[in-house]
Structure 1
């Protein structure tokens, strides 16, 4: 069986590490797994993070 995934991108505070870690923990508690954090910070001090999680009860049998 193959699991299907859903993806999401969110902007996080890239200048305040404790706040970013708190945001990451909250998102992780929603079932999202961090895949990537871009290494560039925009003008507002935000970084883009990409997350994935398994889609509920959606699998493909081979």
Structure 2
């Protein structure tokens, strides 16, 4: 079974171009977007959760 590593990023909502580029780069780096928190704070930020297989780690 694969072992996972996780990452959490703050994402500025409303800046679609930059956000899309950042998300695409995360995907190229092997990260899978697991969830966006639906709540956006007063600064327009939301939270994105990512996971990817931990290299060389299997159970």
How high is the TM-score relative to the length of structure 2?
A: 0.90
> The residue matched to 1:26 in structure 2 has which SS?
helix
- Structure 1 segment 1-62 matched on structure 2, within 5 A: 2-60=1-59
> The residue matched to 1:9 in structure 2 has which SS?
strand
What is the alpha-carbon distance in structure 2 between the residues aligned to residue 46 and residue 29 of structure 1? 23
What is the alpha-carbon distance in structure 2 between the residues aligned to residue 43 and residue 31 of structure 1? 31
Runs of 5+ unmatched residues, structure 2: none
Deviations 1:15-58 (A, max 9, x none): 22222111100111111000000111112111100000000010
How high is the TM-score relative to the length of structure 1?
A: 0.86
Aligned residues: 59
Runs of 5+ unmatched residues, structure 1: none
The runs of at least 4 consecutive aligned structure 1 residues that moved more than 2 Å come to none
